[in-house]
Chain A
Amino acid sequence: MQTKNIMIVGVGGQGTLLASKLLGRILLSKGYDVKVSEVHGMSQRGGSVVTYVRYGDKVYSPVIDKGEADFIVSFEMLEAARWVEYLKQGGKMITNTQQVNPMPVIIGACEYPAELEAKIKNLGVDLDAFDALSLAEAAGNSKAVNIVLMGKLSKYFDFTEDEWLDAIEKSVPAKFLELNKKAFALGREA
């Protein structure tokens, strides 16, 4: 099998690392070779962050390059716009419609671009945009956006719901398990 590529993009602090941990765990359990590349250090402080997840028979590079991603899961609208160039022709983009203003916008040096959803779709991108933040809040905590998005992504894989839930159970602290299961279900239904 040719290597498949999933990118997870967002804003430092949004929980992208947990999402990649979950994906890595379930893909490895299915017998794939897997590589996950993360960003630590300075960029994590509210900067634009990206995690690469690659799987297949034999994976070499730990990173995903422009035009290579089969899936991009974005935690924020501007980040979806920033990274859309990494999507493969015919790839799928899933995004939370939440807007988090970057500092240049906050201080008025530039504006948050309008109508990003339409602009991304105009590139011919297969875009699935939805309000994951509200669903996370409905599940009980705004920080569960990562698991809501994984719920959404899970619809495009033929792994069973139990396999996903097992990976969640192994990736989150026990006291947040019920909340995350709920968040996953809401994302999967959305």
Chain B
Amino acid sequence: MRIAGKGPGDPARKVRFTFDGRVVEGIEGDTVASALLANGVRLMGRSFKYHRPRGVVTAGSDEPNALVTVGRGAAQVPNVRATVQEISEGLEVRSQNRWPSLAWDAMEVNDVAWPFLSAGFYYKTFMGRPGLWEKLFEPLIRRAAGLGALSGEAARDDSSRAFAFCDLLVIGAGPAGLMAALTAGRAGADVMLLDEQVRPGGRLLDEDCAVGGLPGADWVAQAVAELDALPNVRRMARTTVTGAYDGGTYGALQRGAPGARVPETFWRIVARRALLSAGALERSIAFRDNDRPGIMVAGAVRSFLHRYGVVPGRSVALFCNNDDAHRTARDLAAAGVRIAAVIDTRLGIATDADWPVLAGAEVIGTSGRLGLEEVTVRQGDRIRHVRTDVLAVSGGWNPAVHLTCHMNARPVWDESIAAFVPPKGAVPGLSVAGAAAGVFSTRDALTGGAEGAAAALGEIGIDAALPEIPEAEDAPYVIAPHWLVPGKGRAWLDLQNDVTVKDVRLAAQENLRSVEHMKRYTTQGMATDQGKGSNVNALAVLADATGRGIPETGTTTFRPPYTPVSIAAMGAGAQGAGFAPQRFTTSDAQSRRMGAPMVEAGLWYRPSYFPKAGEATWREACDREATMVRTTVGVCDVSTLGKIDLQGPDAGAFLDFVYTNTFSTLKEGRVRYGLMLREDGHVMDDGTTARLGPRHFVMTTTTAAAGAVMKHLDFVQQVLRPELDVRFCSVTEQWAQFAVAGPRSRQLVNRLLETPVDNDSFPYMACGAVTVAGVAGRLFRISFSGEHAYEVAVPARYGESLFRLLVAEAEALEGGAYGMEALNVLRLEKGHITHAEIHGRTTAFDIGMDRMIAPAKDCIGKTMAARPGLLGEAREQMVGLRPVRRDGRFTAGAFLFAEDAPADSDHQQGYLTSVGHSPALGHALALGFLRNGRARMGERLRMVDHLRGVETLCVVSDPVAFDPEGGRLRG
């Protein structure tokens, strides 16, 4: 019910949303939980294992029970905490883990079977005949288990990521955090103040308290107004710091307001210093049936009262072991709520009040199936029953130490407050203040925040004056540890994973005594709340069961994230085309206009083929284009190959060291093919290098290896051979480069050159600066296709225009553009290798190029390439393959076997790397590797592809299938 005079916002601003199809009315600023409670709804979910009716337990992000699904379709989000989700008009909220409905859940049968479903039950059951698990048990368990579900639709990619830098990161905007931000902000430091909630203020909004003579909320408003006016303070609400990482880096998840265009932003913040002022989380006490809707932690009852103006029932009882909790009764009574009883475990507390106070008493049971109706109390020998809707429980407060332990430290047990506190210095640059440090009074929090900020800034050379600390309560924290109430029945520890005291004792009994083992065996602390409300109680039970103290038992490892972070937020912008940059050549637009399907080559897009009217398949286009290049002329964009410009007196010597063959002797105006090895003697890459001047070379690399080669060259120059005087850089993007290949290629090229060329002025493997189509460019007479061919390079601004011109000229000579499919067939016919052949496990010897390793000089890979194991008959050597039958089919990746040998791994002799149909020869061709292949020319083998079910008889042949003399290249 709502309390007049308190609330999350303007009571006139009503918001309607639905819960399980029912319309619910709340006030703007309500969470789903506060709005449901205001409407008398206590039943909000069903527990994970036993499907017991459950209600909300906390008022914050540590909520274990009230998990709901919000939205539908692509916007559906499961396991949302109803205590965090803000309501908005039309929001669709559904409860989880129940069928057919929240009130009538068929799976509640699990609750009856509970003795058989205790911790680890699945290690001891579901055994029997093989197949039973896959066919029966697993499908059943999958259907029964789990909480919320995904919709199965692809999410929209509208989240964001961002980076930020600051002098001081203040984590939490309660009293400590606000004072820290004021201190640092006034000193002119760059401050970021992050708070998990919608409205800043922390417990100052959740309690009836005064600060500096003002009501807490008013003091907060004043502080926030000052902070928001400072340009050097950046305040972010709805932002949870999720993890502490190396180098002063923190992750944080910022939620957008309802309806915001950016639903989530995941921040990576680098802070020179940080202050953790995230407060403390209240823990409960374990007693029989302590999980009914209506049983909540006491501080949450006060949060709902003061922050949301909501009381969860008409009468409230209180069960506690500390002084602080008694405020709950006083505050509720002032709001007109009936206090059914105050049950305190401690003897000797004050018992005079306007309501029954039972000292030295414990709750030993509760009843009410869909919601609390009555609690049973034992005081000494006496048992009494107290009727109440709400039981507020407080077992004490746990400082929110998590971030301080994210770098493999453990918190420290402080006997005086019966709680763990942060280990000092565990995260460099991170200090702690306020309740997070185990300092619980408001005045001490204000002081700690100011002093903490000043000290942190002092460490980085910024002078911060200590402000005056406002007046506030400074009551001592008085508590007597009380973890559980002994007795029969189940007493819950981890509400979300349905783990009870019995389960933890069972773990100890089965000799799983380490807290890490207890955690995995019982699953306590493994739910989405990461055990925030149960870890300390559970390890207290374990400590007792194993005869140890709490410090000796210790905690499990703390890991980020503090609260769940969606993968959509961490990967914002990376869906679909956003996953990687896309690289487009200058001819891309024109190729697409010509109808070419584009294929991905690394990050680049290249045309696969250029379909002509009437062609039904890609093969038809490919055959036509390959034939066209061999009979007239074809034009192909080869700009994507890496191009590296090298200059300097030692450029030649440098190339001699990275290539197997010699480049220092290459004449100016000439191009040479080069092979590059890794230091382990295997081939890294190949390409052609042109000498444009006495100290000027341009190297090409394959498209795929351009980045790796550049890294390698930088390594050689900076680390291995720093004495060489050479500089180099990538010019891949500077030049648009096109292959012009075929018998009519010189004819075409001469139509565009200012100075036409002939075989004397420009023989095979010549290169030089030219004026082409009126602009300064370069010409290389090299060939990947095996035809008479050139590559024409112009500055990229002319690329699109030159491509169109070249294609038009080619078409005028009965040729045209050709794509990757035809490019591959042409080079296959000529036995030219690509990275399909130099795939990282082949050597120069394997591909038949060992003679390219110049004997007279050292080079990368030379020594290791000479290892006996990388030479000789046992090696798989590159061969060509032809089918015995003209219509025989080859598939890449298939294996080679002797004709009569079984097709198994013991008998495989080699494999195919590249395949294609040769229109020039009229049958399929392949390149592959075969044990001692060069000595087996003419031998018949069987190609077998088990995956695709293809078997083909074939003949071992020379890799160069077409024009073996190479006559077409010259002249």
**Same complex origin of A and B:** no
Residues of chain A at the chain B interface (Cβ within 8 Å)? none
